[in-house]
Homo-oligomer: A and B are copies of this chain.
């Protein structure tokens, strides 16, 4: 995958190879990595001048100070910087480790990969291209692998969405006996991202999965409904 490569075409070629004929209602899930690569979101560490803060934390945590510098540049606030862990809020509003900056699965050792500039926009462009070429009604999710407080292990979540509602909103609905549900809204886009990870894996270099049969609600709200505002967040 190189900057400017036509990711939608490559995904459809992959479908053909796997004998998957895209159908109305399919959700195409792409890894952040392949989307970022196709958009040229790879930056070289050469020539990056780390700040004093980046250098100190890099030393403490045994990392490349230039990488830490790029992580800080991609952040709009630092949420935790402690015990070798650097959790930030990215410019998009994601709270995640290292601003989503990743150094694995790259050809050049001295480069790192940034999140897409506008993951909803990335999803929208991919969806447009996929729908034009297939004539099918599709949704697209760009996914990344995030850690969670309280629980060990990472899970795949959505970072960009096009063509479907992010939440299945039950707020105000009642159970069959008329009692109000305590659970208010299911983050179905995150659940689809997690389901997709099970077939994409982390080492297998499968950058796209087709999730079929989920009756998603059409919608254009993108990732916004999944981002908790700092004011409403008790853990930021």
Interface residue total, chain A, C-beta cutoff 8 A: 66
Residues of B within 8 A of A106 (CB): 177, 179
Contact with B along A207-228 (1 / 0, CB 8 A): 0000000100000000001111
From B83, B203, B226, B233, give the contact of A149 (CB < 8 A): B233
Inter-subunit contact A95/B150 (CB<8 Å): yes
Inter-subunit contact A176/B105 (CB<8 Å): yes
How far is B149's CA from A153's CA once the two chains are assembled, in angstroms? 15
Q: How many subunits of this chain does the assembly comprise?
A: 2
Inter-subunit contact A190/B225 (CB<8 Å): no
The stretch among A2-10, A14-22, A194-202 that forms the contact with chain B is A194-202
Query: Which one of A168, A187, A228 has the highest number of Cβ atoms from chain B below 10 Å of its Cβ?
Result: A187
Residues of B within 8 A of A98 (CB): 182
Residues of B within 8 A of A183 (CB): 102, 104, 145, 154, 202
28 A–B contacts from the bound complex (CB under 8 Å): A82-B234, A98-B182, A103-B179, A104-B182, A104-B183, A109-B179, A145-B183, A148-B148, A149-B150, A149-B233, A149-B235, A150-B235, A151-B157, A151-B187, A152-B185, A152-B187, A152-B227, A153-B166, A153-B186, A153-B188, A154-B184, A156-B191, A168-B202, A170-B203, A181-B202, A183-B202, A186-B197, A191-B197
